[in-house]
Each structure stands twice: as structure tokens, then as C-alpha cells.
Amino acid sequence: MILEPIFPGMDPFIEDPDWWPDFQNEMITRIRGALAYLLVPRYTVVSETYIHMYVRPDVSILRGRPDTEPLHISNVQVAEATRFITPAISNPDEPLHVEIIDEFGQLTTVIELLSPSNKLKHQDRYLANRDRILNSDAVHLVEIDLLRGGKRMEPNLPIEGYVILVARARKNAPHQGELYEIGLRDPLPVIPVPLRPDDADVPLELPRLFREAYIHALYRFQLDYTRPPAVPFSEADAAWVAQLLKEANV
């Protein structure tokens, strides 16, 4: 059974509003785990929200493609609950981000995986948080935009494809940004994550983490590739995507 990603880089069908929160949680978890493995014990890596108001289940069951069968049938008996409660549930408008904190408890780096909420409904609020980081002289920002839709965070960023910004904090100077422009047909890059001045950058292996998230969530079977994407393709890209999906037999 083939579970591998279909696209060479980001899969544009994951941008579907029903699936993006699920994907974002998968990626944030993997980003946090990958960095913690590289940075312990000198740094602590945590996932945080800006506002702790909750309205969506932390674990969601979404409807997948109707033409797929279950991979396995389980005969395991489930236990009866001892009591029932109303659980706290998380809000898709308040997505997680990753924070790297040094051994002295100082915030060093913030890693944002942008959501549709960041780019549309709550962009002003996101930009206010972003400005606080960019106006500091000690906190780096890694901003990962894997959404083709919505407004870019800055007017000089490319409109097409995907964008990753690594903005490095500098003492008594503006942040210095490194920009990665990624086309629909391009693989995701391995990007540097900056730390304190006396420590070298660590690599964030986005290609590996995306592949792991895609396989773990069974997106090849969950996503409906027969539906139009959330953001339309150009004529040339539409032909390329159609050929790619045909070769993948989905």
C-alpha cells in the first residue's frame, strides 16, 4: 500500500479548510519534537497559543474520501468510561506555534506555521504579535507560510507558491531576514533555526517532517483529490497536477 506524498513538496490539497487544522497540529508536533531532540538540554522547546480560549477538539475525526476502505479492522474491546465530562477543546482560530527558550528562561526563537486565520480573519492580531517579535532585539522569528491563499505578511513577498522567512534578531538593529521562495513544483527546503549568538543554527528538516506527517495522517487516502483545490491552479499548473494525480492513481 502506497502512503507516500504525491507532490514533490507541499500538497496544495491540504489547504482545504477541513484538513488544515489537522495538518497544522501534525506539523507543529513534529517541529517541536525534531528541535527538542537537537536542543536538549540547553534549550526548552514548547508549543504555545497566544490566547487560551478553546472551541475545537484537540483530536478531531474528519470525513475522508468515500471510496476508501478501512486499513484494519480491530476486535479490541474498549473500556467503559468511569465518568463523563465536557472537555476543553481547542480553537482553530488560535493555532499553535513553537517557542525555543534558553537555559535562563529567555525566549530565543518563535516558529510560526501560518494558518488561514493568520492570513485572513485575524491577520491584524497576528501582525501585532509578529511586530512585538520583530521590534525586539533578542527574539528570532521563523515564519513558515505553506498556504497559497490569503495575504502575505509583507507586501514585498511573492504572491505565488509558498514562502518561508527566517528573521534574525540583532542588537540595536532591525531583524535581518532570509527568504525562501518555494514553487508548487519545488521540494520543501531544510531551513536554519537561529539561536543565541554563541550557538550555531540548527537545521529544521521540513521535507522529512512533512513526509512523516503525511504518512502518519494517511492523507493519501483522506484527502479528496477529485475536488477542486481551495486555491485554483493556473492553467499550466492544473495540467501538471492532473498528470501527477493520474500517475498516482488517486
Q: How is the chain split into domains, by residue range?
A: 12-58+90-248
The b/e string for 58-76 (b: 16+ C-beta within 10 A; e otherwise) is eeeeeeeeeeeeeeeeeee
Helix (H, G, I), strand (E, B) or coil at 38: helix
Q: Does the structure show a pLDDT above 50 at 91? A: no
Q: Does the structure show a pLDDT above 60 at 128? A: yes
Backbone angles phi, psi at 113, to 5 degrees: -105, 105
Q: Does the structure show a pLDDT above 50 at 85? A: no
Q: Does the structure show a pLDDT above 50 at 143? A: yes
In whole angstroms, how far apart are CA 232 and each of 123, 126, 149?
22, 25, 9
pLDDT band at 125 (very low <50, low <70, confident <90, very high): confident
Higher pLDDT: 121 or 32? It is 32
pTM for this entry: 0.82
Segment 191-202 shows an average pLDDT of: 95
The neighbour count for residue 131, using CB atoms within 10 Å, is 10
